[in-house]
Structure 1
Amino acid sequence: MRRCDGEASGGGSLARLSVAPKAKDDGRIVATLDKYVRRVGATPPGTCPVVVQQALLQAAAAQTCGKCVPCRDGLPRLAALVGRVADCEADAGTLAEVRALAEMVRGTSDCAIGYEAANALLEGLDDFADEFARHVGARSCAAGVGQTVPCETLCPAHVDVPGYIALVAAGDYAGAVNLVRKDNPFPTACAFVCEHPCEARCRRTLIDAPVNIRGIKRFAVDQVPADQVAPPPHSVDTARNIAVVGGGPSGLTCAYFLALMGHRVTVFEARSQLGGMLRYGIPAYRLPRERLDEDLRGILSAGSITALCDTPVGAREMAEIAENYYAVYVAVGAQAGKTLALPNADAAGVMSAVKLLGAIGDGDYPDFTGKRVAVVGGGNVAMDCARTAVRAGAEEVSVVYRRRKEDMTALPAEVESAVAEGVELVVLQAPVGIEVDGKGRCAALVTQPQMIGAVRGGRPAPVTADKPQERIAADIVLIAVGQGVETEPFEEFGMATVRGCFDADEGLAAAGYGNVFVGGDCQTGPATVIRAIAAGKVAARNIDAYLGCSHKLACGVSAPPAPPNDRTPKGRVELVERPARERKRDFKDVECGMSREEAEQECGRCLRCDVFGCGATEEGREQYA
């Protein structure tokens, strides 16, 4: 609103308010800012951190109102000084001046425009101290002048994303599957459950939105199942026996690549079936078992792989394996469910999420008909448990989380799907106890209300609110607060651990052993499927080198030539789910794949960054092992 003066009917003046019209440029400025946000989001991996700091300072300087001198004059000066560092034209005195000026701006600016910009710079000086020192001392930038393909670089397994998208566009679905398997032998599993970090910096974001990479992969494996695509021919038999302990994604990835190299691999799996957490941690409605088996059959057909299920490995067995095999890869995952130190946590009706999902992996589905279920946690596993409880007939399902909804580590799409299926989110409630009935069975989850507090570790931490405890009626309480590694048998064998995980160097060689390697969740802690796959790939390459070999693997497929890319803005094709009222009644696949028309359009959105705009290496692509 704005004030305007007018004549009153009685002849006097009257101050009135009127609705101020929207400034003509406001809409265009907002549109420009949207483009700016997209551009920031598409910042290529490997961008020089000094240049990023300079850009942030320039953006902050453009926001200043000009009222206070530290912000008005200090930010442009800081941007200029950091620019000299970025251009490798500064000395140690320049860095000292930058720090001193930033501290002054942070301490004397009137508002957050100034002091937050200066604070970000001071944090950058500490976080990227080596890079700032290199620019000043060696007068060079470690980031170099070229850029790698964002999607391939951010994929932990470094899959040739533009290549297989181009093959799908050309209708060569078998070729696309084989090109994925060059780096990742689980094309189907990742088409269903990968968290797709490859999309985070997709350059298509500069135009509209990231390419739906996972959806395109799903379309490819829907057209040609993975077990119908023959793996590349394996190398000549080396007569070297390799043991893999653990038949999950990391162990089987290692086995696959070692078999292609000509080695003889034996996989020791404690459970009755292969798959690890893909089978025993992810419900069938997200990853249908028959689709997982397609990947497993493809892996086992790669060469000399013998899988021994129902074969747990203890300290004695591990000692025998290490002695009788040329090399051992330990990839036992993180399959021990963590619990909470709550009163009555051992009551009937209280169980870990890992136990529930593990039983389902063997076909033992629970019956929660008429039960009230409370799930404690805020990650993907908690959402899996909640949605499983709905399908098991539960009358009410609640997810209890001590932080806010926006702080949940679960994928937003998983949270939205759970809510659509009738799951209630109970946030800012910290469990403090289990209430039991006269028979010792779970009757309710007792919680203490929380309020959001100061930021710690990148997100606001909850603190106890001055409110009375609350009671959430529950016949079943599922604890989904994380997973641990069962290290005891291997520690007895002599393997070292650090904070509950196995100790290994960057090449995944276990500390203190020459022929033992370790990777995946048991070495990093619970992570994602694609990270476990990447570890298996690295382990296979390093085991091959340890044996004195240097096998080069090829898939016999390459990306077709790139046509001129289509830069016309188009909407991103999203994978939709079956209606909630239908899907929540069964464990069938909830997600609908793309149609041929949708896949062709989505493939056409790929800008082929391996050919256009990334010139650091061969076809803009790092030559990953």
Structure 2
Amino acid sequence: MLFENDSSYGALGEMCANTSRRLGANARGTCPVDMTRALVGVAHAQSCGKCTPCRVGLGAMTDMLEQIIGGTAEAGTIERLEDLAEQIRVSSDCAVGYQAAEQVLMSIKAFRDDFEYHAETGGCLRSSSQGVPCVVSCPAHVDIPGYIALTAAGRYEEAVELIRKDNPFPSACAYVCEHPCEETCRRTMVDDAVNIRGIKRYAVDHAAAPRSCDRGPATGKRVAIVGAGPSGLTCGYFLARMGHEVVAFEQREKAGGMLRYGIPNYRLPKTILDDEIASIEAAGVEIRCGVTVGTDVTLEELQRDFDVVYIAMGAHGDKKLRMPGEDAEGVVPAVKMLREIGLGHTPDYTGLDVCVVGGGNVAMDAARSAVRCGAKSVTVVYRRRTADMTALPEEIEGTIADGCEIADLMAPLEILTDEQGHVCALKAQPQIIGPVKRGRPAPIEAEREPHEYPCQVVIVAIGQDIQSDYFAEKGLPTSWKQFDVDENLAVPEHPGIFSGGDCMRGPATVILAIADGKKAARSIDTYLGFHHAVSVDITLPTPRLDDRVPCGRSMLGERAAEERVRDFDLVEYGLSEQEIRQETLRCLNCDHFGCGILHEEGRMSW
């Protein structure tokens, strides 16, 4: 009999932990049918054997999945598999059986085409789609192993140039990207994901000014960009490199969109953003600030004077709480507050108690900014658990470190006011966590009395609104104020009009907006009758052949909280030279040792 201190039991626990890391790094392109079979096999191994549905049923499902994968299944096997899974789901004694059955049913529903193709041919729809995991997971498909190798070799300018082949905002992303690339990093199978953003940060911080980029011959085509944010400027940058004339119309005083007016200086210094925008202008993009489409220039005029219009105006409006008191003096939309700070108009909250409503990155930025504006106390009020917040974990940790309190499982009910109509408290109803809805546990009202948080300022950060009414009035189709587009980001039934970024997909991340701009540039170039290539001429270092021994992940450091809360200067500092040498060596070179080597052709262009 095994006990908890048995060495073999510890080895099994370590094996399970390694398997968990492996599953967490699952790359896109993995066969869902084969993964389903493997997961059912794991469940079967965990079965205690007490109940027949689990002991016998999971084995029978594994056999059926093997037949489907090998193409030897009889007609109707998929349907019988569904029936068996449903029987196991409703009759198994515990989660070992019924949860495995639920996974099978979910997999068949989501990937039925894959199941049917396997059953009919014995082949896989996904066998040729696996690329380098981090590159595939990056929405802009930046060559991550390439610039890591160049950074390791001390070739920082070329590393940045390689990034700019796919993303003209290497510095901005080095400072604020949510790094989805790290989620599928295969290094996780060894110890922990490579600090990809930290390596990029080192490259951009140590590179000289970017080299001037090549531009194609003038095409005579003109493209108007509505909104000079990350998506609009990305699209304009690539179109300009292709030889098209590009003019970006920006409503505000300066270009940058939410990079300038939504992300505080302590996360992204505006001097760095200014340099990045200047390099985009140097590539041939003309930016006209202080121009509002619909007031200073009409959509019809843009269509008359330009061959194509790309709408990428972001989501700069604010959403309402829809509760009593939200119009009181002292209630401030987070988007407005951050925009004013971006303009240099920092509010004075000296000695005031501040409540921030929301749980996303904007809420964290607003809370941390309120501290820097002199607030006596800052409380983030959120109706779900802290674990359910959509903000990045490091942003939540930074908010707490800056002295903010997180009041989770508290649903705002009402903003209370004094006799002068000024905010005096936020009233919230305690919650308990309830059933899972849409992928995460939903809160339900607790049987407790509401709680009042005394405050003089309430910052609302529950989402951003898209100000698309003008375009909707002109006949452009929208759904929930988001522009409707086809797979090429073209607006249906409106030739020559494209849309991308937050105004198309809803408030999202910087890298997704950049990815839309890149995709739109390709679609617009094709629409105009061309097929230009964006390329670089860089020779990558020879891949290393040394063993990859387990090694801890180097982390970016931060200024001490008691120091950084007094100003809006940069909080995070980069890796040291010693750390960058170690961290770049942790890369497993999946571009060479995995399926990535099959994608070498065309790597330096798109």
Residue 231 of structure 1 and its aligned partner are, at CA, apart by: 3.3
1:146/1:615 contact within 8 Å kept: no
Separation in 2, partners of 1:63, 1:301? 61
Is the aligned partner of 1:310 residue 2:290? yes
- Say if 2:16 is the partner of 1:33: yes
Looking at structure 1, the residues matched to 604 and 444 of structure 2 have their Cα atoms a distance apart, in angstroms, of 48
**TM alignment of 1:537-552, pairs within 5 A:** 537-552=518-533
Of the candidates 440, 445, 456, which is equivalent to residue 464 of structure 1? 445
- Counterpart check, 1:231 vs 2:212: yes
C-alpha displacement of 1:293: 1.2
Identity %, equivalent residues: 49
Pairing partner for 2:184 from 201, 205, 230: 201
Query: Is 2:351 aligned against 1:370?
Result: yes
The alpha carbon displacement at 1:623 in A equals: 8.4
Match of 2:123 among 134, 140, 148: 140
Matched residue SS, 2:211? coil
Letter in 2 for 1:415: I
Where does residue 6 of structure 1 map in the other structure? Answer: none
| 1:436 aligns to 2:386 (yes or no) | no
1:89 CA displacement? 2.1
Cα shift at 1:556:
2.0
1:7 paired residue number = none
Q: Give the distance between the partners of 1:546 and 1:540, measured in 2 at CA.
A: 10
Question: Cα 1:114–1:21, aligned 2, differ >3 Å: closer, same or farther?
Answer: closer
Q: Distance between the aligned counterparts of 1:492 and 1:249, measured in 2?
A: 26
Q: Please tell me whether residue 561 in structure 1 is matched to residue 542 in structure 2.
A: yes
Residue aligned with 1:452, SS: strand
Structure 1 counterpart of 2:259: 278
Q: Does 1:105 align with 2:105?
A: no
Q: How far apart in 2 are the matches of 1:287 and 1:563? A: 34
Partner of 2:389: 408
Aligned to 1:78: 61
Q: Is the 8 A contact 1:565 1:604 kept in 2?
A: no
Structure 1 residues without counterparts, runs of 5 or longer:
3-19
Deviates more, 1:542-551 or 1:518-527: 542-551
SS in 1 for 2:448: coil
SS of 1:443's equivalent in the other structure is strand
Contact 2:27 2:133 in 1 (8 A): yes
What displacement does 1:80 show? Answer: 1.6
- 1:574-601 CA distances to partner (integer Å, 9 max, x unpaired)? 1011111111111011001011111111
SS in 1 for 2:148: helix
| Distance 1:231-1:581 versus aligned 2 partners, 3 A rule | same
Which residue is 2:26 aligned to? 43
Q: In structure 2, what is the Cα distance between the partners aligned to 1:515 and 1:213?
A: 37
CA contact (8 A) 1:188 1:294 kept: no
Check 1:615–1:470 CA distance in 2 against 1; reply closer, same or farther (3 A cut).
closer
- Greater Rg by CA: 1
Tell me the equivalent position of 1:319: 300
Q: Structure 2: which amino acid aligns with 1:510?
A: V
Aligned to 1:11: none
In structure 1, what is the Cα distance between the partners aligned to 2:121 and 2:597? 21
Of residues 332, 339, 342, the one that matches 1:358 is: 339
Residue equivalent to 1:9:
none
For residues 315-367 of structure 1, give each alpha carbon's deviation from its aligned partner in whole angstroms, at most 9, with x where no partner exists: 76111001110111110001111111010110000011000011111111111
Where does residue 131 of structure 1 map in the other structure?
A: 114
Asked if the contact 1:353/1:478 (under 8 Å) is kept, the reply is yes
Which whole-Å CA distance do the structure 2 matches of 1:224 and 1:616 have between them? 28
TM-score, scaled relative to structure 2 = 0.97
CA distance in 2, matches of 1:146, 1:277: 34
1:158 aligns with 2:138: no
Q: Structure 1 residues 254-263 or 607-616, which shifts more?
A: 607-616
Identify which range, 150-159 or 490-499, moves more after superposition.
490-499
1:573 equivalent in structure 2: 554
Distance in 1, matches of 2:494 and 2:340, equals 35
Cα deviation per residue 1:246-266 (whole Å; 9 max; x = unaligned)? 000000001100110111111
Segment drifting more, 613-622 vs 541-550: 613-622
Q: Is 1:507 aligned to residue 488 of structure 2?
A: yes
- The corresponding residue for 2:377 is 396
Cα RMSD of the aligned pairs, angstroms, is 1.7
Partner of 1:598: 579
Q: Using the alignment, how far apart are the partners of 1:91 and 1:132 within structure 2?
A: 13
Deviation at 1:395, TM superposition (A): 0.3
Q: TM-score, normalised by structure 1?
A: 0.94
Q: Which residue of 1 aligns with 2:231?
A: 250
Distance 1:521 1:60 in 2: 41
Give the letter for the 2:389 counterpart: M
Partner-residue secondary structure (3-state), 2:199: helix
In structure 2, what is the Cα distance between the partners aligned to 1:489 and 1:342? Answer: 27
* Cα distance in 1 for residues equivalent to 2:75 and 2:341: 61
Deviation at 1:175, TM superposition (A): 0.1
Alignment-derived partner of residue 566 in structure 2:
585
Give the aligned partner of residue 45 of structure 2: 62
1:119 to 86, 96, 102: 102
SS of the residue corresponding to residue 575 of structure 2 reads coil
Change in CA separation of 1:622 and 1:166 when aligned onto 2, cut-off 3 Å = closer
Report the 3-state secondary structure (helix = DSSP H, G, I; strand = E; otherwise coil) of the residue aligned with 1:453.
strand
Aligned partner of residue 617 in structure 1, secondary structure: helix
Q: Deviations over 1:237-295 (max 9, x none)?
A: 11211111100000000110011011111110000000000000000000011111121
Spell out, residue by residue over 1:73-99, the C-alpha distance to the aligned partner (whole angstroms, 9 max, x if none).
111221121122122222332112211
What secondary structure sits across from 1:130 in the alignment? helix
State the SS of the aligned residue for 1:25. Answer: helix
Q: CA deviation at 1:50?
A: 0.5
Q: CA deviation at 1:565?
A: 4.3
Distance 2:267 2:320 in 1: 25
Deviation of the 1:132 alpha carbon: 1.3
| Structure 1 residue 614, shift from structure 2 partner | 1.4
Amino acid aligned to 1:585? R
Paired residues of 1:145 and 1:616 also in contact (CA < 8 A): no
**Residue of structure 1 in register with 2:273 after alignment:** 292
Structure 2 unmatched ranges of 5 or more: none
Contact 1:566 1:607 in 2 (8 A): no
**1:200 aligned counterpart, secondary structure:** helix
Partner Cα separation in structure 2 for residue 622 and residue 484 of structure 1:
38
Distance 1:82 1:107, change over 3 A: same
Quote how far apart the aligned CAs of 1:377 are. Answer: 0.3
- Cα distance change, pair 107–615 in 1 and its aligned pair in 2 (3 A): same
Counterpart CA distance in 2 for 1:86 and 1:72 is: 22
